[in-house]
Structure 1
Amino acid sequence: MHTKVTDFSLEEHLAAFRRGCVDLVDEKELARLLESKLAKGEGLRVKFGMDPSSADLHIGHSIPLLKLRDLQQLGHTIVLIVGDATAMVGDPTGRSKLRPVLTRAEVDENLRTYVDQAGLILDMDRVEVRRNSEWFDRMDFEGLLKLCTRMTVAQMIERDTFQTRMEAGEPIGINEFLYPLMQGWDSVEVRADVEIGGTDQLFNLLVGRRLQLQEEQPNQVVLTTPLINGLDGRKMSKSY
């Protein structure tokens, strides 16, 4: 039998969100949000995004997925964003060079195994799975321009990733500036209460808060989980 959010106290919910996280922005907001939702017998909408930039997930995804499972078992709604649109742009986070641009056909091929693999950890019958092509395929050029006005180039290049590239004389693609805005817009579309990601995703997650506030939505709480490094000392990645 599935548990309900009201089967657990506010402190038990807070402890589950805090457990194993590195960043929590903002804990007071989270407490207020939980208190409000629990009073109505509702759980939070917890968003996690995965881009099908290769055919398989890797062990690094197990950390946030296990976190999501804990929250799912407390009765919260997991919203899994399959980034079939953002995968064609490519997340610049932690990249020292430009990513190769994927075609829609390559993305669709990679997508086939993602949900099945996530289902090894999550109860997929209780997960809301959304492709972000749902909204980006219908966004026209005017909508894209409006999205681009939400942040400045100066704000974008504050990122460590871009600073490192500039110092090394490596190029930065205009398309890479779009990625944080697209990820942030996903949060607006699904009305996320919480977004979970690795510590390297903090910039992108905070963009989601910014865009929700601009759209007069409650801004999501941001929670980051530790990264797992590979044998070469770099963060584990699907696309290195």
Structure 2
Amino acid sequence: MKTLKEQFDILSDGAVDLLPQEDFIRKLERSIATGTPLRAKLGLDPSRPDIHIGHAVVLNKLRQFQDLGHTVVLIIGDFTAMIGDPTGKSKTRPALTLDETRENGKTYVEQAAKILDMSRTEVVYNSQWLDSMSFREVITLSAKYTVAQLLERDDFTKRYRSGEPISVHEFLYPLSQAYDSVAVRSDVELGGTDQKFNLLVGREIMKAYGQEPQCILTMPILEGTDGVEKMSKSLDNYIALTDSAKDMFGKTMSIPDSLIARYYRYACFAGGEDVARMESELAAGTLHPRTAKVQVSGSLVDRYHGEGAGKEALDEFERVFVKKDIPDVIEETVLDGTSLDIVTILTTTSMAQSKSEARRLIQQGGVSIDGTKITDPAALIDLQAPVILRVGKLRFLRISGR
């Protein structure tokens, strides 16, 4: 077993907040002395079916807890996802059904297994306790925190001052998340920096229920591939854990130069010294940004697709973008009809999620057939012989009609 200092150095590395630090050290000391693992909690609300590498920043920190012998408790927030986390939102989020959140939750567990050792992970759904609470129990929970305390939260304050409605159920979100910590007897809860308020509420609610309060550990929020907004599927600036090696490599190569070292640190989980060296060489001009991006992209692909996958993805990238070739292997599909309009082709093959998205892709010059750019959304495509459809820089599909 590693020493107290060794464990603290590993677990605090890269963290933004570790509060209260003295309590965390005391918990580690007790864990080492008694041989009792800490219970490290992470709650994920499955509001969408995909986990991206922004989520993976915290998941990788959880894996460090596991590697040090501690217990990870992964809470799938199938119940809280019906409320919707109001963090950073300027208006009330649309509600999901319990069936929708449970279906999304199944994929979360499968994707988290790419990072966590599931044999050492407790997976629980918070509907197990929240769905069965009586109204009396909800009132009891609500009485343990004040409206004034909830309004200390910046996004609630802004909405209140601007006259934007705040539903009562949104006030219950941080209390519900906090009660999760009570239910699983969390020693430390992890989250992004945007979750700091919710995590601190957990400390207070645990105290109110007579439990030793958890410590909190926050990790940075990873920007999306646009370099501006928080990584999000809704903004289409994300890299999913389920992305193919080709797509993962290509998306990472598209990030702004300003994010290279940050992705190396938090997406690839490179060590502090390696990141500092890369930053220094980039600043000095001895390391070209493209070379650094290739290193980061390859490292990320190797992490999720296995050693050597990054080199294969680089070779494919060079073929497509440097030599302007098409990939060696292209997925094929057969459509009903030998002459179809391009919008129908894009939506039928799921290369576009809607007709409006298909038209936007065409207008932006992102669609071509056999190397010829399509500019007319009403264009008819002859499918009597197979053609190669290209959408954007990364997606290819060989299609034919019948």
Q: Does 1:236 align with 2:218?
A: no
1:167-212 CA distance string (max 9 Å, x none): 4432211111000000000000100000000001011000110011
Instruction: State the AA in 2 paired with 1:116.
Output: E
Q: Does 1:184 align with 2:169?
A: no
Q: Which structure 2 segments of 5+ residues have no match? A: 236-402
1:90-122 CA distance string (max 9 Å, x none): 100011121001111211221221000000011
1:3-41 CA distance string (max 9 Å, x none): xxxx11011111122111001111111111111121111
Residue 86 of structure 1 and its aligned partner are, at CA, apart by: 0.3
Q: Which of the residues 50, 55, 60 maps onto 1:56?
A: 50
Q: Which of the residues 103, 106, 109 maps onto 2:103?
A: 109
Residue 150 of structure 1 and its aligned partner are, at CA, apart by: 1.2
Q: Does 1:17 align with 2:23?
A: no
Distance 1:21 1:232, change over 3 A: closer
5 Å-filtered alignment, 1:148-227, equals 148-227=142-221
Over aligned residue pairs, what C-alpha RMSD do you find?
1.3
Secondary structure in 2 aligned to 1:112? helix
Distance 2:144 2:83 in 1: 18
Instruction: State the AA in 2 paired with 1:73.
Output: D
Distance 1:237 1:165, change over 3 A: farther
Larger Rg: 2
5 Å-filtered alignment, 1:80-159, equals 80-159=74-153
Residue 235 of structure 1 and its aligned partner are, at CA, apart by: 2.0
Residue identity over aligned pairs, in percent, reads 53
Aligned residues: 234
TM-score (normalised: structure 1):
0.94
Residue 218 of structure 1 and its aligned partner are, at CA, apart by: 0.9
TM-score (normalised: structure 2):
0.57
Match of 1:77 in 2: 71
Distance 2:231 2:144 in 1: 31
Residue 239 of structure 1 and its aligned partner are, at CA, apart by: 5.7
Distance 2:230 2:104 in 1: 20
Bigger RCO of structures 1 and 2 (CA < 8 A, at least 6 apart):
1
